[in-house]
């Protein structure tokens, strides 16, 4: 490519509409059609697949989550970077490639563009998935649990980029709260500082990922997908830049009581300290250790809560599409 052309294309401001970003984005035909016709679409992240679960549970779950969205009447858009293109909607072979990648990069806001510029491959975290979703006009995104303020952050400064993303990118993220490995009170404080609405779904308590409740009261509560959709629309009408965090409790039959989990979480965290694990590697390490320490129970709960979030996100996307 001649230098002048390159300069032009890189200097060009980012355009909001997906049709004009075809060089960066690779939309699956299904997603292209759904977005063009203003049909409800739910974004899904891919770090759960590459760093959150072992194979083959990761691949099976990715398929089940997509099926859950389809059964609820929306279109699933799993997002990942493959060979230098930001894919919105993955084919079965693409999903399988991602799920079996030995050393996938875990991409957040800081490294998304670098990976694309190098022609690389990697999964997107909550932050990077939100960026991609907003660029192509997807309003709703389902994940397991967002990243947040790690325990001991007063020393490590480890605060997930997911929180800043919620403050600036207008996507409604359906989660089961923040992962219970985190410092939940500090995570709620930072979200409040950043002006992110934290909405517990159908209860007052802020859910704690593997557990349906915590000792914390969520700042906001809503009891219907429609209310959440209207609030999303109101933020747009006010031109407020950030998103909403919906905290959807894990179904009670699938939860692990917090008392049971807490000692195992503490043990995993001290093992990480001893091993000197930090940065991007910390959350995947803790999830893996808790999986081992609960003999797989945490994984089953994680799968159940993601499916539950996918169903609620679909209902919200359907309501937003009606607005």
Give me the active site residues, please.
45, 179
Cβ of residue 285: shortest distance to ligand PSU, in angstroms?
Answer: 10
CB closer to ligand PSU, 20 vs 270: 270
**211 binds ligand PSU per the rule CB under 6 A:** no
CB closer to Mn ion, 169 vs 283: 283
Contacts of 37 (CB under 8 A, 6+ apart): none
User: What, of ligand PSU, Mn ion, none, does residue 162 touch, CB below 5 to 8 Å by kind?
Assistant: ligand PSU
Q: Which of 28, 47, 248, 298 binds ligand PSU (CB under 6 A)?
A: 47
Cα dihedral 273, 274, 278, 281 sign: negative
Give the per-residue contact string, 135-174, with ligand PSU (x = CB under 6 A; - = no).
--------xxx-x------------xxx------------
CB closer to ligand PSU, 45 vs 319: 45
Q: Which of 251, 243, 288 is nearest to 269 (CA)?
A: 288
Long-range contacts of residues 21-25, Cβ cutoff 8 Å, at least 24 apart? 21/135, 21/136, 24/85, 24/86, 24/116, 25/85, 25/86, 25/87, 25/88, 25/132, 25/135, 25/136
C-alpha to C-alpha distances, 89 to 81, 98, 121, nearest whole angstrom = 11, 13, 15
CB closer to ligand PSU, 70 vs 280: 280
Q: Which of 28, 115, 14 is nearest to 66 (CA)?
A: 28
CB closer to ligand PSU, 161 vs 230: 161
Which of the residues 102 through 161 are near Mn ion (CB under 5 A)?
158
**165 binds Mn ion per the rule CB under 5 A:** no
Q: Which of 32, 44, 45, 88 binds ligand PSU (CB under 6 A)?
A: 45
C-alpha to C-alpha distances, 83 to 5, 112, 202, 223, nearest whole angstrom = 22, 12, 41, 42
**187 binds ligand PSU per the rule CB under 6 A:** no
Q: Which of 75, 121, 125, 187 binds ligand PSU (CB under 6 A)?
A: 125
**Where on the chain is the footprint of Mn ion (CB under 5 A)?**
158
């Amino acid at each position: 490519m001649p230098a002048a052309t390159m300069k032009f294309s890189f200097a060009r401001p980012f355009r909001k509409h997906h049709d004009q970003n075809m060089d960066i984005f690779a939309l699956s035909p299904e997603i292209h059609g759904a977005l063009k016709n203003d049909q409800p679409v739910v974004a899904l992240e891919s770090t759960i697949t590459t760093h959150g679960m072992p194979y083959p549970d990761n691949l099976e779950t990715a398929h089940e989550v997509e099926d859950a969205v389809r059964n609820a009447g929306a279109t699933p858009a799993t997002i990942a970077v493959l060979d230098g293109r930001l894919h919105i909607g993955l084919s079965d072979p693409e999903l399988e490639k991602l799920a079996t990648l030995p050393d996938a990069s875990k991409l957040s806001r800081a490294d998304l563009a670098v990976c694309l510029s190098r022609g690389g491959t990697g999964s997107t975290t909550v932050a990077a998935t939100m960026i991609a979703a907003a660029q192509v006009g997807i309003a709703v995104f389902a994940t397991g649990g967002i990243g947040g303020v790690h325990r001991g952050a007063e020393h490590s400064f480890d605060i997930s980029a997911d929180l800043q993303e919620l403050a600036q990118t207008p996507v409604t993220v359906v989660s089961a709260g923040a992962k219970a490995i985190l410092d939940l009170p500090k995570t709620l404080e930072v979200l409040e500082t950043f002006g992110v609405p934290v909405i517990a779904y159908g209860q007052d308590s802020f859910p704690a990922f593997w557990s349906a409740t915590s000792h914390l009261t969520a700042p906001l509560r809503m009891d219907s997908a429609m209310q959440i959709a209207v609030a999303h629309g109101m933020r747009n009408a006010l031109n407020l830049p950030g998103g909403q965090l919906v905290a959807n409790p894990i179904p009670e039959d699938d939860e692990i009581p917090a008392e049971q989990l807490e000692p195992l979480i503490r043990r995993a965290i001290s093992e990480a300290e001893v091993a000197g694990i930090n940065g991007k590697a910390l959350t995947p390490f803790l999830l893996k250790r808790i999986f081992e320490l609960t003999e797989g129970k945490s994984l089953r709960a994680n799968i159940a809560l993601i499916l539950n979030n996918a169903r609620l996100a679909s209902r919200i996307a359907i309501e937003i599409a009606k607005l």
